Amino acid sequence: MGRYILRRFLYGFLVLWGVISMVFFLFNILPGDPARMLLGQRADITSVDAIKKDLGLDKPIAIQYFNFLNDISPLSLHNTSDKESYWYYDRTKYINSAQLIKIADVALVLKVPYLRKSYQSKRLVSKVILEAFPKTMLLAFTSILFAIIVGIMLGIPAALFKDSLLDRSLLVFSSFGMSVPSFFAAILIAWLFAFVLADYTGLEMYGSLYSVDDYTGEVYINIKNLVLPALTLGIRPLAIVVSLTRSSLLEVLSQDYIRTARAKGLSEFDIIIKHGMRNSLNPLITAISGWFASLMAGAVFVEYVFDWKGIGVLIVDSLEKYDLPIIMGSVLFISVMLILINIVVDITYALLDPRVRLS
């Protein structure tokens, strides 16, 4: 089991390194000059050069790549004496850090990953992301919870009444839910429930977790604004849960021990819930865990449509302003979350099913 866990973490590290490299080189070959974006097109060349030096953009691409890896890595190598060195150990930049080993002028430093500062606000990227992340996390968690509860409730009758009108209708819904793009579903649901049926639903098309009272100016939590984005984001995992619950339960109900339970006179409720559902949860757990990770990334379009102030809106706003540190930091943050969740899912599944480790 230890070798399996080590192998999963090694694969995860290689994937993360590939993502980091792709993000760095992709955004460095894009047209546009961050220094010009900050100062404006009429800025003089001296000011532009000063900004480039401050941001480290005057260095060759290989050195920029080394500095980028050095900044975001928890373990990094730094020069401790030469302040003009491109890899100088600047304690004002690496606030939460400590030297582990020092040989001559080179130190191995343990630190909190430094995602640099926003070009626009000059704030630490890590703080900006951590402010937006809880809202995206709440949206993803609510969506997956909605998908689990409603999906299982719909999947059970679909399996019990196979080939009925209800079953066929749910299969059509599952196919539609798995194929519809999230941005199209977001626009459609916003138009239907927050515009056409707004008088009946009382829901608004735009809004984040926190709202401001028009009269008192007080900030309060507005749960109503969570309904439509959570519903939209939950459509695809809901379709998956319905389909998996139906197919898994059908497979379990055809087993010999279910026939034996019926022959012994157990109630249909006990057979379905205690024996059927319990033994059909394995593929469901795997799918739900994987989809929870995917929802973190898929929330970008949904958040933008509903103006939900999470990481999705943060990324889109940063793209419009060409704020590269925010964009790169957000992409890396989401990638790390995806990789870690997938590793946890793989390990959990291996604990539940030893055949996974052997394969």
Domain-embedded: residue 350: yes
Domain-embedded: residue 269: yes
Nearest-angstrom CA–CA distance, 24 and 70: 13
Other beta carbons within 10 Å of 298: 19
In this structure, of 14-18, 166-170, 237-241, 290-294, the range with the lowest mean pLDDT score is 290-294
In this structure, of 18-22, 57-61, 70-74, 187-191, the range with the lowest mean pLDDT score is 57-61
Domain-embedded: residue 148: yes
- Give pLDDT, residue 88: 85
Confidence band of 188 (pLDDT split at 50, 70, 90): very high
- Give pLDDT, residue 8: 83
* Number of independent structural domains in the chain: 1
- Give pLDDT, residue 91: 83
Looking up residue 135, the CATH number of its domain turns out to be 1.10.3720.10
Nearest-angstrom CA–CA distance, 349 and 190: 37
pLDDT at 337 over 70: yes
- The sign of the CA dihedral 41, 45, 46, 52 is positive
Domain-embedded: residue 74: no
Residue type present at position 287: A
Strand residues in the chain grouped as ranges (E): 75-79, 97-103, 106-111, 210-212, 219-221
Q: Could you tell me how many residues make up the chain?
A: 359
- Which H or E element spans position 23? helix 2-29
Domain-embedded: residue 349: yes
- Mean model confidence pLDDT for the chain: 84
pLDDT at 150 over 90: yes
Higher-pLDDT residue of 65 and 85 is 65
51: nearest Cα among 38, 68, 32, 65: 38
Domain-embedded: residue 346: yes
Domain-embedded: residue 115: no
Q: Which domain holds residue 344?
A: 125-358
pLDDT at 269 over 80: no
Nearest-angstrom CA–CA distance, 88 and 57: 16
The model's pTM: 0.82
Nearest-angstrom CA–CA distance, 127 and 129: 5
Mean pLDDT over residues 193-219, rounded?
A: 82
129: nearest Cα among 311, 259, 300: 311
Domain-embedded: residue 224: yes
Nearest-angstrom CA–CA distance, 318 and 242: 37
Task: Give pLDDT tens digits for 3-42.
Answer: 878 888 898 889 999 999 998 888 877 777 777 777 766 7
160: nearest Cα among 273, 266, 264, 279: 273
* Interior/surface letters 301-320, b for 16+ CB within 10 angstroms, e for the rest: bbbbbbebbbbbbbbeebee
- Give pLDDT, residue 232: 92
